[in-house]
Amino acid sequence: MTQVVTLRPLTYKHKQCIAIGFVYNEDLKAYVKAFTGVRWSVTHKTFYVLHDDFTLNQLFTYLQKCGYYVDYSAMRYKTKLEKPIKKRKPPHKEMLYKALTSDNRKLLKQFIDYLHGKRLSQSTVSTYGYFILRFLYHTRNLELESLETKHINGFMETVIAKERYSISSHRQCVSAFKHFTSFCGLKGFDASEFERPKRSKYLPTVLSKRSIIRLMQVTKNLKHRTIIGLLYSGGLRIGELLQLELKDLDFDRNQILIRQGKGRKDRLVGMSQVIQPLLLNYIQTYMPQRYVIEGRDGEGYSPSSVRGFLKQSCKLAGITKPVTPHTLRHSYATHMLENGVDIRFIQELLGHSKPETTMIYTHVAQKDLLHIQNPLDEAVSGFMDSVNGDKKVFISAGKTD
């Protein structure tokens, strides 16, 4: 029977594409993958190529050449390319600050001091301060004493919603207002009852162990390779890596001390025996003075630099998943779980305050999930046992023994 390949229009990542559909066949799959430009979409669960008339004609000829029947009737109906919604770029904080009155500038400074007094992290203070800076600019024509809760609602509608801030940023904004209204202590200006929107729950992106090794192999720069090795083998956050000092490396005990990680907690993680020669080679070659990873002239290394070379290394390694430094941390945790390490130990190694945070890795670990029998397989197996295996079981319509 001739194998049918269906070509249909597909809009993917704001580009017009050709989706290539067929009933699973190993030979056909290999043949389709060999066509120039073919990629796999995890979102749409289909192979595809970018759409233009030349590519469509080449693909049609390529498939017919091997004897496949090509159904391209759907290609006569072109899909409209969705126009991406542009995200409004927020104004720069320096411009906002200059437009404030002297009283509002003084108020903002006092609020920042108030947050420092609560011993919040510098990152949190900076984030909360920016949202209140924007609010003060938004209400710059109003006196402080005239502020009411309705003005916060208006800010949420005209700034946070229209500029399409993420759910995470929205939650931070609500937290900022809870602190700010408490700080101001004005009657009728109260965000204490405001609810934070529910967190979006996404499964973390995880690389395979083979992909991790490949990623390090294609990264030729010694410093870059060391960074990847440390991020993965220690499950480090990018900030923890860049704050790591030479004195925190204990080669004798095969340990790395993470000082004041997220939540202002110290913790110990194991130092991979495999990475030790690489790490020593890097230290002898670059001779860092204080921090393990240093930029030019002993300055701090920037997170954007790490993201930049990591993106390039992924391209060289043929990794098409979206990868960030945190992906290596996710991969570390997932692989530990698949190796049978108790989740309580993984929680400690990652520095999570709550076990619920670590539990997300149980949804992506493959070790136990792959051994769960599919209920359809179990149903068919049970039926065959009941008839002593004398009769074949077909699940396709019209099939009989």
Digit-coded pLDDT (tens) for 165-177: 888 899 999 999 9
Radius of gyration of the chain (CA): 28
Kindly tell me if the per-residue pLDDT of 181 is higher than 60: yes
Please write the tens of the pLDDT for every residue from 199-242.
Answer: 766 677 888 889 999 999 999 999 999 999 999 998 898 999 99
User: pLDDT class for 131, splitting at 50, 70, 90?
Assistant: very high
> Residue 58: left (phi > 0), alpha (psi -120 to 50), or beta?
alpha
Catalytic, 14? Answer: no
Query: Distance (Å, rounded) from C-alpha 386 to C-alpha 393?
Result: 12
pLDDT surpassing 50 at residue 284: yes
Which pLDDT score, from 0 to 100, does residue 401 have? 44
Active site residue 150: no
DSSP code of residue 132:
H
pLDDT of residue 310: 94
Mode of pairing for the β-strands spanning 46-50 and 69-71: unpaired
Could you give the count of Cα atoms lying within 13 Å of 315 in the half-sphere of its Cβ? Answer: 6
Q: Check residue 197 and give its pLDDT.
A: 84
Q: What is the enclosing helix (H) or strand (E) of 41?
A: strand 39-41
Out of 171, 262, 267, 307, pick the active-site residue: 262
CATH T-level assignment (fold) for domain 93-184? DNA polymerase; domain 1 (1.10.150)
Report the distance separating Cα 292 and Cα 244, nearest Å.
6
Determine which one of 134, 237, 330, 335 is catalytic: 237
Phi, psi of 17 (to 5 degrees): -130, 170
Confidence label for 377 from pLDDT (cuts 50, 70 and 90) = low
Is the pLDDT at 349 greater than 70, yes or no?
Answer: yes
CA 144 to chain CA centroid, Å, is 40
Say yes or no to pLDDT of 261 above 70: no
Q: What confidence score (pLDDT) does residue 61 get?
A: 86
- Amino acid sitting at position 223: K
Which pLDDT band holds residue 81 (cuts at 50, 70, 90)?
A: very low
Average pLDDT over residues 120-148: 92
Q: How far apart are CA 310 and CA 327, in angstroms?
A: 11
Is 262 a residue of the active site?
yes
Domain 4-76 coded CATH 3.40.1170.30: yes
- pLDDT of 79 > 50? The answer is no
Band of pLDDT at residue 92, cut at 50, 70 and 90? confident
Residue 361 annotated in active site = yes
Work out the average pLDDT over 10-30. 88
- Domain 209-363 of CATH type 3.30.365.10: no
134 catalytically annotated: no
263-280 residue pLDDT tens: 667 888 888 888 899 999
pLDDT computed for residue 15 by the predictor: 85
* Residue boundaries of the structural domains of the chain: 4-76, 93-184, 209-363
